Amino acid sequence: MKETKSQPITKRMVWEAYEQVRDNRGSAEVDGISIAQYESNLANNLYQLWNRLASGSYFPPAVKQV
């Protein structure tokens, strides 16, 4: 199996990205989920995100127009 990513995505990378969003008071995005809603099941949500990122099956939604 050929690795297509230049570097593997670790759980730590996902955790640090989440912390940056939280510290910057991230708002609900296209999916409409707030930080508080995301944190209600944080461990599972971060695991699912990491799993999708690491497997290459994550496709981000369209950018919200300002």
**22: nearest Cα among 43, 47, 46, 39:** 39
Give the model's pLDDT for residue 47: 96
Calculate Rg over the CA atoms of the chain: 13
pLDDT mean values, one per 10 residues, the chain (66 residues): 67 93 73 83 94 85 67
Give the model's pLDDT for residue 21: 84
Dihedral over Cα of 66, 48, 18, 28: its sign: positive
Give the model's pLDDT for residue 65: 64
The amino acid at 35? I
pLDDT tens digits for range 17-33:
989 888 887 765 666 78
CB 28 within 8 A of CB 34: yes
The pTM of the whole model exceeds 0.75: no
